[in-house]
Amino acid sequence: MSSTLHPMLNVAIKAARAAGAIINRAALDVESVRISQKQVNDFVTEVDHASEAVIIETLLTAYPDHGILAEESGSTHGNPGADHIWIIDPLDGTTNFIHGFPVYCVSIALQVRGKIEQAVIYDPSRNDLFTATKGRGAFMNERRIRVSKRTRLPECLISTGFPFRKGDNFNNYLRMMGDVMQRTAGLRRPGSAALDLAYVAAGFTDGFFETGLSPWDVAAGSLLVTEAGGLVGNFTGESDFLEQKECLAGAPRIYGQLVSILGKYSKFASAGDKAAVRAAVETLKRGGAAAEGEDTGLNAPADDTNNAPF
């Protein structure tokens, strides 16, 4: 595969591996890493900054006219008016990293005229490299990956992220978690949204949902999922989600079932949308899907919709 990689993807891989080397060196003595707090429970380390710096240097050396959107430095580097914008998270899972919990990654995506066209997610602790080029499939360590083939929600493993910032709607999230947990084989919270999306693409999990995410958390992972045959959008199933702080991903059949559960919690759902979702869920509970021979797993307690936030 390496000989046929898109040149821009090759540069992104070089940048991600250089950042991963910095992260791995720091992980050997994580106790000595200097940490500061951007806001409550939102940490940044000198490793985030060093990782971001080497990524930006690598990308702009190769493509000096490109723009940059990075978690720590925003749009202060490169050409903000460029058609080509690199969207970077230099260390997704910083809280995990500073505890020595080995679930974190580097995420780099290239957006061309508003569309994500290249993606790299690199897990330095496992040396796992996920890559995608629009229209050419998704890969993990140069092997083609595809989303899970599961179609029954009760058999599915779903990943998520918990609210951790002041002002997050914690009670709303508990209701979402309750709705999903009662209908699936398990719910996981690994702590790195970018890696969560890579795992959906690889079929390690069947779906993912989270609120409060920024473009650099989901840009690369979203292309991995779609190139692996999955769907990505907001909780109502709309695909234009990158700036909406609401992300849902999964294999197509599972994605649809998650929309029917989570749609009512979307900040973009109108009263009519919420009523329609509730009606669809009730139809499924009464056996509408059973007529097609499919168990959707929507057999929750009869009063569970009373928990909805509307």
Q: Express each pLDDT in 70-123 by its tens digit.
A: 999 999 999 999 999 999 999 999 999 999 999 999 999 999 999 999 999 999
What pLDDT sits at residue 267?
81
Tokens 């903000």 — which residue? Answer: 80
Burial class (CB in 10 A: 0-12, 13-18, 19+), 286: exposed
What mean pLDDT comes out for the span 153-169? 84
**Is it the case that residue 279 has pLDDT exceeding 60?**
no
**Is it the case that residue 219 has pLDDT exceeding 70?**
yes
Give the other-Cβ count within 10 Å of 138's Cβ.
Answer: 24
What pLDDT sits at residue 308?
34
Q: Transcribe 236-281 into DSSP letters.
A: TS-S--TTTTEEEEE-HHHHHHHHHHHGGG-TT--HHHHHHHHHHH
Give the model confidence (pLDDT) of 179-194 as tens digits.
999 999 999 999 999 9
What pLDDT sits at residue 90?
97
Q: Is 42 helix (H, G, I), strand (E, B) or coil?
A: strand
User: How many angstroms separate the Cα of 108 from the Cα of each of 19, 105, 218, 269?
Assistant: 11, 10, 10, 30
**Is it the case that residue 153 has pLDDT exceeding 60?**
yes
- The encoded tokens of residue 280 equal 């669809």
User: What backbone phi and psi angles, to 5 degrees, belong to 50?
Assistant: -65, -40
**Is it the case that residue 285 has pLDDT exceeding 70?**
no
Lowest mean pLDDT among 11-15, 132-136, 291-295: 291-295
pTM (2 decimals)?
0.85
What mean pLDDT comes out for the span 264-282? 63
With contact defined as beta carbons under 8 Å apart, do 158 and 207 qualify?
yes
The domains located in the chain, with CATH, are 2-145 (3.30.540.10), 153-307 (3.40.190.80)
